[in-house]
Structure 1
Amino acid sequence: MAGRSLDRLVTAGALLAALVLFVDPALAHVGSLGGTLTSVPIPFWLVVVTGGGIIGASFMFTSFATDHDLIRSINRRGITVPSPATVRRGVVALARVGSVGVLGLFVVTGLFAPQLEATDPTKNLAVLGVWAGWWAGYTISVYLVGDTWPVLNPWRAIASVLPRVGSRSWSGDLGGWPAAVGLLALVWLEVVTPIASDPQFLAVVILAYTLGTLAGAVVFGDEWFREVDPVSRVFHTYGRMAPVRRTDEGIRLSLPGAALARSYDEGTEAEVVFVVALLWVTSYDGLVATAPHADLVRAAVGLGVPALVVYLATAIAGFALFLAVYRLAARLSRRSAGSFVDPAVIQRRFVWSLVPIAAGYHLAHFLGYFLTLSPALSAVALSPLDPPATVQVAVLPGWFGSVQLALVVLGHLVAIWVAHAIAFETFTGKLQPIRSQYPFALVMVFYTMTSMWLVAQPYVPPPYL
């Protein structure tokens, strides 16, 4: 058994090495902000082989790590650094004031800065700051380092000084659907509108979002940010896999993804819906910029279907598919394990294993975007109301596309470990936890193959937008 497992491990390693080292990179393409997202054209058979290699990696974990106490001890390892309360309060106050100032600066530069962005959006701080600095760079810091959004959230800072209107509590009857629908709506808006290139439109959307968020916060209080606000839920979810987390004792440093395994029993139906939505939107953003989807849009428009409806239908249908596949895996997991654990419990526990996949694809999709536009962001930030006539963008090396694929694989491997650890907390013995993972391993391969295929596609501007 050990020999066969070792063979699988060697095979998986060879396949992954081949993927990273021997795929020819293509020329970078320009996104809506003038950044680059490197594409790596690879044959479909190599994507399939990569999926097989990941399954081999999952066998590695299940073959060699079957001791419940050992798995639990690995996930609990870490160090805690005390954080003095006075220092913490001072840092929090300063950070909140700064975040509100940055939000105001984005609105001002979006509305009033010189309108050179019609031809060059890299000269406006609002556009660069929101997309390259915040949605790309800051989000990466949340899952690679730690979730600082509760402190840096400018809307939460403003809401904290506003009076509450009544004492209503958010009803949990709707579960995670409002946050999931809000996230889908925001990503759909980013796709079908010029929000990523028109600073004035972006500023108007920020103001509208601000009014809606503050209205919800003054009615429902902090629950609005914990349960409903899609932006806060995104960062909270990503922050669960970060190696740095704040606790009552101080700042705790642990292995990446270990906190997801430790919080296996904290999942709810709301988390299931939202995490799957988060996983899907990372794929949707890439799907709409592929040639097959562009052909689908053109065909639908030719039949009289408005393009905006097609993009909305794609967003809804993809989310429904991802959610249905995940729930099916939970039901099959119960059967393959031969257990009486309720499939709903399995869904709520294993959903945390999807977070590293979403983070891995986000990192693969946006790391190059952030690195490319960082010089322009720095230059414009120094003079936001009078940007330089010429801004520089970084040119990434040709092999960076292979790094994108490796990041997708890395996210999947972390997900495999999280699922493995959760299985050994959920099921008894050694065979039940191993068997329970078979359906989820196949689902993860489906998700990861989808992500890798999207990363490998040449950029095609979405038509009719």
Structure 2
Amino acid sequence: MTEVSAHGISGATDLPIPLSYALIGAAWALTFSFAVLAFAWREPRLDPDSPGTPLPAFARTVADSAAVRAVLGGLGLLGSLAVLAVGFFGASDSAHNPVPGIVYIFVWVGVMVASLALGPVWKILSPTRALHRVICRATGRPQARGALPYPEAWGNRPAALGLFSFVWLELAFPEPGSVLAVTIWFLGYLIVGTAGLVVFGTVWAERGDPLEAYSSLLARLSPFARRVTGLPVLRWPLNNLAGTPALAGSVAVAATLLGSTAFDSFSMFASWRDFLERVGDDSTLVTTLLRTAGLLGFIAVVGGVFTLAARATGGLTKPERALLPRRLAHSLTPIVAGYLIAHYLSFLVEKGQATLILCADPFQRGWNILGLADFDVRYVLSTHPAVLASLKVLAVLTGHILGVAAAHDRCLRLLPPAHRLTGQLALMLTMVGFTFTGLYLLFEA
């Protein structure tokens, strides 16, 4: 059985679309989008409170069913306990243990892709929420209230720290595929998440839980939403995106997700690997520190450049400009989604199959649960490189165009009329830079 790697891209130099063609296509697509936005989109159009179209009665019943949510939450909790059991008592190597694949592929990628399509999936499957509900019922305390109020100044910062801990494990830790390391991270996530819910109530899950924050962020691009009354509806995704809360740490969350994905591609460059071998020599500590510095550097550049670009406008007071980065941070969500699809698509589809096969016998006892061991991995994307390359380019460009649209609409609301176009210039150029850099890393890694 092939070992499940922590990385989604193992090289893209064999993709049939030359980088120059991809960059030219990106330039035309973005230029066209800027022209349309500047001349045809002159007033704010996105409304997070738009009524949408109510779901059919049956779908509303399922979506609002407490029994369905309880069952799904219970399955999430049982699944998490199974992951811990297999992680601690199953095979010690990832070639025979499905835990790294479950966490890296199904949770980190699969849940997030599902959230793009269906809404905040992790909020329903969350094992920490399920465990917290059990604790609250046993103690008779309300779920929403914790022992202490959640500090507003924290915003999404705890979630950003949690996300960084995961991407550090994936990209900087010496053995990212270690079954024990992945299991310990997941156990730590469960402990911290449950403690946060007990101390602060459900607001912790919304703002401090890294997986729920990520899932809920991408869910803003789902067509499924709820009215203020709670009625489930279908709504234009950009309207949902416009309702993203502007919290402290919002830029940090987006920068961590986007910067880590970029660093993942960059880490495949031969020059970077040669540098690690030359400077790190045989020292695991030095190599880990260099990888950590590189990861932090990419995150800092993404966050710093975006912050400076968002604040580069006139017509506002200094305190108002200071709030612009968090108010515009939602425009990075489509870009994050685009890179998620482009970077991890083949990883999810093909290595996800390998992980399912490993689930047939998680304790190496000769089991064949659900007959999964009888299946073979079908490389449906790797064997069609032209399709894969086209999907990658399409995902990146779609994400950037939607990001530009979201930023443009928000700027129309926030900036004075005299600065509505000029005030966006730095931000638009930054997004162009993100597009070209992202395509370069994807196709030249």
Structure 1 partner of 2:78: 101
- Correspondence 1:108-127 to 2 at 5 A: 108-114=85-91, 117=93, 121=95, 123-127=96-100
For residue 362 of structure 1, report the CA deviation from its aligned partner. 0.7
Name the aligned partner's letter for residue 211 of structure 2: V
Structure 1 partner of 2:130: 157
From 376, 389, 402, give the equivalent of 1:414: 402
Name the aligned partner's letter for residue 321 of structure 2: P
For residue 43 of structure 1, report the CA deviation from its aligned partner. 6.1
Conserved in 2, the CA contact under 8 Å of 1:38 and 1:401? no
Structure 1 partner of 2:237: 256
- Cα offsets for 1:227-247 (capped at 9, x unmatched): 222222211222222221244
- Correspondence 1:27-176 to 2 at 5 A: 32=5, 39-40=12-13, 45-46=20-21, 48-68=23-43, 71-72=45-46, 76=50, 78-81=52-55, 83-84=60-61, 88-114=65-91, 117=93, 121=95, 123-162=96-135, 163=139, 167-176=147-156
Following the alignment from structure 2 to structure 1, what is the Cα–Cα distance between the partners of residues 352 and 252? 34
For residue 391 of structure 1, report the CA deviation from its aligned partner. 5.4
Structure 2 partner of 1:4: none
Verify: 1:394 aligned to 2:378, yes or no: yes
1:362 counterpart SS class: helix
For residue 363 of structure 1, report the CA deviation from its aligned partner. 0.8
Following the alignment from structure 1 to structure 2, what is the Cα–Cα distance between the partners of residues 173 and 34? 34
Name the aligned partner's letter for residue 78 of structure 2: G
- Correspondence 1:44-443 to 2 at 5 A: 45-46=20-21, 48-68=23-43, 71-72=45-46, 76=50, 78-81=52-55, 83-84=60-61, 88-114=65-91, 117=93, 121=95, 123-162=96-135, 163=139, 167-193=147-173, 197-247=177-227, 248-261=229-242, 263=243, 266-302=245-281, 306-332=286-312, 334-335=313-314, 338=315, 342-385=320-363, 386=367, 392-395=376-379, 396=381, 397-399=384-386, 400-429=388-417, 432-443=419-430
1:32 counterpart SS class: coil
Conserved in 1, the CA contact under 8 Å of 2:4 and 2:354? no
Following the alignment from structure 1 to structure 2, what is the Cα–Cα distance between the partners of residues 37 and 78? 42
Q: Structure 1 pair 294/194, CA: closer, same or farther in 2 (3 Å)?
A: closer
For residue 410 of structure 1, report the CA deviation from its aligned partner. 1.2
Please give the TM-score of this superposition, normalised by the length of structure 2: 0.83
- Cα offsets for 1:266-285 (capped at 9, x unmatched): 31232232222222222223
Name the aligned partner's letter for residue 54 of structure 2: T
- Cα offsets for 1:314-363 (capped at 9, x unmatched): 1222222112111211222x13xx55582123222211111100110011
- Cα offsets for 1:122-175 (capped at 9, x unmatched): x43323322222222221111233112211101111022225797212323444
Unaligned runs of 5+ in 2: none
Q: Structure 1 pair 67/382, CA: closer, same or farther in 2 (3 Å)?
A: same
Higher mean C-alpha displacement, 385-394 vs 412-421: 385-394
- Cα offsets for 1:402-459 (capped at 9, x unmatched): 3212211111111121112212222354x6433332211111112222221221134x
Q: Structure 1 pair 86/234, CA: closer, same or farther in 2 (3 Å)?
A: closer
Q: Percent identity?
A: 24
Structure 2 partner of 1:15: none
Following the alignment from structure 2 to structure 1, what is the Cα–Cα distance between the partners of residues 209 and 278? 36
Question: Aligned Cα RMSD in Å?
Answer: 3.2
Following the alignment from structure 1 to structure 2, what is the Cα–Cα distance between the partners of residues 350 and 401? 30
Q: Structure 1 pair 456/75, CA: closer, same or farther in 2 (3 Å)?
A: farther
Unaligned runs of 5+ in 1: 1-28, 459-465
